[in-house]
Structure 1
Amino acid sequence: MASQDVAISRRHIIGEVPMMVCEISDRCLYTGFFGSIDSGRMAQITDKITERCELDNAKLVIVDLANVDAIDTAVATHLVRLGKVLELVGVKVIFCGIKGNLARTMVTAGVEFDMFKVTRDLKSALLYSYEFTGLKLVPIDENTRA
């Protein structure tokens, strides 16, 4: 019975867009992509993220590519288009977690991310997002902890 559940789950995942979107702070969304992204799914990804930004009245989206195994030049171009679409609807985009092999693919293809904020990792993206949205991280005083 358990092996049937796994098979059904895998079948379900294969047809889904390899991403998730969630709110991580006030008016800031996080989206992470997983595995390999193909051109066919990029339209779905763009639609889903754009709809979620409009629904949540987001000001900022962090697009995390740290868990992406591989992309081709067409997908790299689609990522730039995703960023442009979001910025056209008033949402600032931060790309983070771009690995060396992805960076090489993008540079070789002539795909430029100059118009977007790019950070090394999620931590750096979060720090920038707090600053951008007017939030600040402060240490909790040990004496005031419950």
Structure 2
Amino acid sequence: MYGISKVALSRKQIGGEVPMVATEITQECIYSGLFGSLDSSRMGIILEKITDLADRKQISLVIIDLGNVEAIDSSVAGHLVKLGDVLKLVGVTPIFCGISAQLAKTMVTAGVNLGYYITVRDLKSALKKSLELTNKLIVSSDEIS
């Protein structure tokens, strides 16, 4: 039981109670994984954190992983589009991944359209796409020799 509360406390301290992790994965790309239940106020904080990090790191791509998001409402779905719009305006390409069938249904029902953005099935596909967009390849060490 102690271990579980310690993990929760660590997430709270790291994320400031915002259900998000973010890290630089290449010089051009950051990864942002959202998790849990999202609401409008948290989405505002997420938008600020992602855009600030993108600006500080001078990156050109952001992978936004929704694979661990439990639920969203129509307002939060709209905030995801706003996040994509803000990133595009500052020259950053968002790549959305991990959208479950339930999240997709919520977005479509709410009239939210991510059609202007790159969407892929999962994180593996998002990473592959980010490398493709930055003209990078992953090759095995056997291919280098």
- After TM superposition, the score normalised by the length of structure 1 is 0.89
Identity value in percent: 51
Q: Which runs of 5+ in 1 are unaligned?
A: none
Report which of the two structures shows the higher radius of gyration computed on alpha carbons. 1
1:106 corresponds to:
107
Q: Which runs of 5+ in 2 are unaligned?
A: none
Contact 2:33 2:64 in 1 (8 A): yes
For the pair 1:17 / 2:45, whether they are aligned, the reply is no
After superposition, the C-alpha distances for 1:100-143 in whole angstroms (9 at most, x for unaligned) are: 00000000011000100000001111111001011111121189
1:63 corresponds to:
64
| Deviant stretches of 4+, over 6 Å | none
For the pair 1:47 / 2:62, whether they are aligned, the reply is no
Take 2:63 and 2:11, find their aligned partners in 1: how far apart are those partners?
Answer: 28
Mapping 1:87-102, distance limit 5 Å: 87-102=88-103
After superposition, the C-alpha distances for 1:83-112 in whole angstroms (9 at most, x for unaligned) are: 000010000000000000000000001100
Take 2:140 and 2:10, find their aligned partners in 1: how far apart are those partners?
Answer: 42
After superposition, the C-alpha distances for 1:25-45 in whole angstroms (9 at most, x for unaligned) are: 121000000100111111110
For the pair 1:74 / 2:75, whether they are aligned, the reply is yes
